[in-house]
Amino acid sequence: MADVAEALARKAAERVAAAVAATAAAAAHHTSQVQPRLARVLEAFAAERLGTQHFASVSGYGHGDQGREVLDRVFARVLQAEAAAVRLQFVSGTHAIAAALFGVLRPGDRLLALTGRPYDTLEEVIGIRGSGQGSLAEFGITYAELALTAAGRVDFDGLEDALALPTRMVLIQRSCGYSWRPSLSVAQIGLLCERVKALQPGCVVFVDNCYGELVEAQEPTAVGADLIAGSLIKNLGGTIAPTGGYVAGRAELVEQACCRLTAPGIGGEGGTSFDLNRLLAQGLFLAPQMVAEALICSELVAAVFSDLGYAVQPLPGAPRSDVIQAVRLGDPERLKTVCRAFQAASPVGAYLDPVPAPMPGYASALVMAGGTFIDGSTSEFSADAPLREPYVLFAQGGTHRAHAQIALERALLALAQAGHQV
């Protein structure tokens, strides 16, 4: 028996080693992108004269918190936007996105999603699932959707018809979310911005930028997006930020989102940063490197599973616009086996057995492998999957490729032991 286990482990290690070799060029490419992104971060810190005095914050109201103000301007520069608001008071990416939507939209306005059904947690924000309590729908904001094409791409041909009615805002989701579709490149987002503005010049282009930050040379705000939002326990937190989110874009719109987060009249000028500014700054400093490592981990996941014959999205070495790697495992048992193996290879809670469970904001039960230092962080190596057809695993994050290699070896071994072909 021991010999059999040893042979399987050896085979798993060989498969992962082959994936490392096969993705060497892609890994080198991702590594080469750290320098220009880091240069942008360093230029922003220097231009805004970040110093140790900014690490402390003002308590109470947080009025005049210089650290918060400097970080806002630093993030704006890094995100190539006029303004940004980086706040620990955003409890998640969903909250930052909701603040942007509620901050800008008014009763009677129309919101149009251009990338099909938005991310799961936004369904209740918009009011297309659940009780509708407190949703945009309850506030009289109408909603429409331009479905994706059969290939999962934006239906450029349908754009003119979809924008026939006056529309206050279009919603573009950069990352695939929990759907089997290619993520949008920043160039495609730029093209969409151009088309939308040509049809309706006053329409606000909002981009859900989750998981996309620093993956490409430009952010959506550099190519025409008016407002973007995301989470700090994803890319920009660099695995260091303890919580939080950001909005960035045109100053007037950022302030509208802040008025929703805090209160009209306070807007972006209140909210302590709990003496945690150093972690936000340090996280941003590390983010280019962490994003590159996460991309390399994704390449490895893609290579290992595509080698086994599973459909993966994107393919190893293909252009990437976010850090997500989707693997169509096609079977709930395989999904759970892989998540269990990833969990066992995690630094925190390795002894836990991930079981599918309901999550606030999500329609389907989710199985999650996330033994991360920051709870729920997906910039650390993690994987999750809604328990629904076609049983796709979404892997993301990773502070070093070695961690993905270890986790993948364990997953292959577990699959083999469960009788699957590896």
**Got the DSSP string for 53-112?**
GGSS---TT-TT-HHHHHHHHHHHHHTT-SEEEEETT--SHHHHHHHHHHHH--TT-EEE
Which tokens hold the place of 71? 């970080």
Q: How far apart are CA 25 and CA 13, in angstroms?
A: 20
Output the smallest distance, CB 114 to ligand PLP, in A: 14
Output the smallest distance, CB 39 to ligand PLP, in A: 27
The one among 208, 219, 293, 384 contacting ligand PLP by CB under 6 A: 208
Output the smallest distance, CB 105 to ligand PLP, in A: 17
Which residue's CB is nearer to ligand PLP, number 67 or number 93?
Answer: 93
Which residue's CB is nearer to ligand PLP, number 203 or number 241?
Answer: 241
342 binds ligand PLP (CB under 6 A): no
Which residue's CB is nearer to ligand PLP, number 92 or number 289?
Answer: 92
Output the smallest distance, CB 131 to ligand PLP, in A: 19
Contact string 228-267 vs ligand PLP (x = CB under 6 A): ---x------------------------------------
Considering only the C-alpha atoms of the chain, give the largest distance between any 2 of them, rounded to a whole number of Å: 70
The one among 45, 102, 119, 342 contacting ligand PLP by CB under 6 A: 119
Q: For ligand PLP, which stretch binds (CB under 6 A), given 205-213, 235-243, 338-346, 406-414?
A: 205-213
Output the smallest distance, CB 209 to ligand PLP, in A: 9
Three-state secondary-structure class, residue 332: helix
Contact string 265-304 vs ligand PLP (x = CB under 6 A): ----------------------------------------
Q: Please report the sign of the dihedral spanned by the C-alpha atoms of residue 122, residue 124, residue 128, residue 133.
A: negative
Residue nearest ligand PLP, Cβ-based: 93
Output the smallest distance, CB 66 to ligand PLP, in A: 27
Which residue's CB is nearer to ligand PLP, number 379 or number 405?
Answer: 379
Q: In what order do the strands lie in the sheet with 392-396?
A: 311-313, 325-328, 392-396, 382-386, 366-369
Burial of residue 13, with CB atoms counted within 10 A of its CB: 0-12 exposed, 13-18 middle, 19 or more buried: middle
Integer angstrom CA distances of residue 243 from 136, 237, 266, 277, 283: 25, 8, 22, 12, 11
Which residue's CB is nearer to ligand PLP, number 93 or number 370?
Answer: 93
Output the smallest distance, CB 32 to ligand PLP, in A: 26
Q: How far apart are CA 326 and CA 345, in angstroms?
A: 19
**Cα 16 versus chain centre, distance:** 26
**Got the DSSP string for 381-409?**
SEEEEESSTT-EEEEE--S-HHHHHHHHH
The one among 121, 277, 289, 377 contacting ligand PLP by CB under 6 A: 121
Which tokens hold the place of 229? 């939002």
**Cα 346 versus chain centre, distance:** 20
Burial of residue 258, with CB atoms counted within 10 A of its CB: 0-12 exposed, 13-18 middle, 19 or more buried: buried
Output the smallest distance, CB 212 to ligand PLP, in A: 9
The one among 45, 102, 211, 246 contacting ligand PLP by CB under 6 A: 211
Q: For ligand PLP, which stretch binds (CB under 6 A), given 16-24, 43-51, 208-216, 311-319?
A: 208-216
Output the smallest distance, CB 247 to ligand PLP, in A: 13
Ranges within 78-117 binding ligand PLP (CB under 6 A): 92-94
Q: Please report the sign of the dihedral spanned by the C-alpha atoms of residue 112, residue 117, residue 121, residue 123.
A: positive
Q: How far apart are CA 137 and CA 135, in angstroms?
A: 5
Which residue's CB is nearer to ligand PLP, number 186 or number 210?
Answer: 210
Ranges within 133-192 binding ligand PLP (CB under 6 A): 173, 175, 177
Nearest-CA neighbor of 82 among 242, 219, 177?
219
**Positions in the binding site for ligand PLP (CB under 6 A):** 92-94, 119, 121, 173, 175, 177, 208, 210-211, 231
